[in-house]
Amino acid sequence: MAIMIKSRQEIALLREAGRIVGQTYEVLRPHIKAGISTAELDKIAEDFIRSKDAIPVYKGYGARAARAGQPAVPPFPATICVAINNVICHGIPSSTQYLKDGDIIGIDIGVRYKGWVGDSCATFAVGKLDDEAQKLVDTARRSMELGIEQARAGNHMGDIGAAIQSYAEAQGFSVVRDLVGHGVGHSVHEDPQVPHIGRAGTGLKLRTGMVFTIEPMINVGKPQTRLLADRWTICTADGSLSAQFEHTLAVTDGAPELLTLP
């Protein structure tokens, strides 16, 4: 594991990239309503990101040739990842996929600016949610916040996962195990990995200058996942709702610093 410790100057540049991510959500927010297609949301996001002289980091990401027993993975074709209802993450925007009242939609945004990456995700309500969906969204947000509170120098990675897991499970939900947070720097995926389950006091010791995401994916049903034929979209295996929130943060000498705020 090669963990890059960032300097204050590098964190300032990561904050600039993250701010563009945060601003993109503010641009998207008034458009997230019934009747809009996810492709329209994608275009709004891309146009804004490029207007800030930044690059959508997901677009073209992740192409992989066929491996033994595994089909090839095409490059991701869009600026944002969308996750409606039972989709956990990495859904592809489409001109035939329209939002409906009562949906929840997770929108994941990554940008590269001046060589540094910002990465964040938020789940939005489309119209009025039923009680279960609202509780899920609230729990996913609070789970992320509790994980962030543990991201302090001297704590351990397991403290983050334990805080998330104990809270989400106490609310009657499950935490996805197969997908984790990650370091962020010049690349959107660096060491360390950040599990969203764990045991307090275990795992990697956190140090000032680490930069990574905390991005718990919380399911109404069981934590198992299912990959669709497009090789990108990951859904809940049991068809239950899923919600996610994510920030990129820097570990400091005090409280963690969120880098993906507008």
CA pair distance 97, 39, nearest whole angstrom = 8
* 215 is an annotated ligand-binding site residue: yes
Cis check for the bond before 30: say yes or no (omega within 30 of 0).
no
**Which tokens is 85 given?**
């209802």
Residues 8-63+72-258: name the CATH superfamily.
Creatinase/methionine aminopeptidase superfamily (3.90.230.10)
Query: Residue 126: its pLDDT value, please?
Result: 98
Place of tokens 């005090």: 254
Which residue from 130, 152, 151, 148 is spatially nearest to 140, judged by alpha carbons? 148
Query: Could you tell me if 122 and 104 are in contact, meaning their C-beta atoms sit under 8 angstroms apart?
Result: no
Which residue from 43, 112, 54 is spatially nearest to 78, judged by alpha carbons? 43
Query: Could you tell me if 8 and 247 are in contact, meaning their C-beta atoms sit under 8 angstroms apart?
Result: no
Query: Residue 68: its pLDDT value, please?
Result: 83
Q: Which tens digit of pLDDT belongs to each residue from 18-71? A: 999 999 999 999 999 999 999 999 999 999 999 999 999 999 999 898 888 788
* 247 is an annotated ligand-binding site residue: no
Query: Residue 212: its pLDDT value, please?
Result: 98
* 31 is an annotated ligand-binding site residue: no
Per-residue pLDDT of the chain (262 residues; tens, 9 = 90+): 788 999 999 999 999 999 999 999 999 999 999 999 999 999 999 999 999 999 999 999 998 988 887 889 999 999 999 999 999 999 999 999 999 999 999 999 999 999 999 999 999 999 999 999 999 999 999 999 999 999 999 999 999 999 999 999 999 999 999 999 999 999 999 999 999 999 999 999 999 999 999 999 999 999 999 999 999 999 999 999 999 999 999 999 999 999 999 9
CA pair distance 113, 152, nearest whole angstrom = 26
Q: Which tens digit of pLDDT belongs to each residue from 182-203? A: 999 999 999 999 999 999 999 9
Place of tokens 């992740």: 62
159: which residues sit within 8 A by CB, 6+ positions away? Answer: 150, 198, 200, 201
CA pair distance 155, 200, nearest whole angstrom = 9
CA pair distance 151, 57, nearest whole angstrom = 25
Computed on alpha carbons and rounded to an integer, the radius of gyration of the chain in Å comes to 17
Query: Residue 60: its pLDDT value, please?
Result: 96
CA pair distance 251, 169, nearest whole angstrom = 26
* 257 is an annotated ligand-binding site residue: no
* 16 is an annotated ligand-binding site residue: no
* 103 is an annotated ligand-binding site residue: no
- Give me the helices (H) in the chain, please: 8-28, 38-51, 131-149, 157-170
Cis check for the bond before 93: say yes or no (omega within 30 of 0).
no
User: Rounded to two decimals, what is the model's pTM?
Assistant: 0.97
* 108 is an annotated ligand-binding site residue: yes
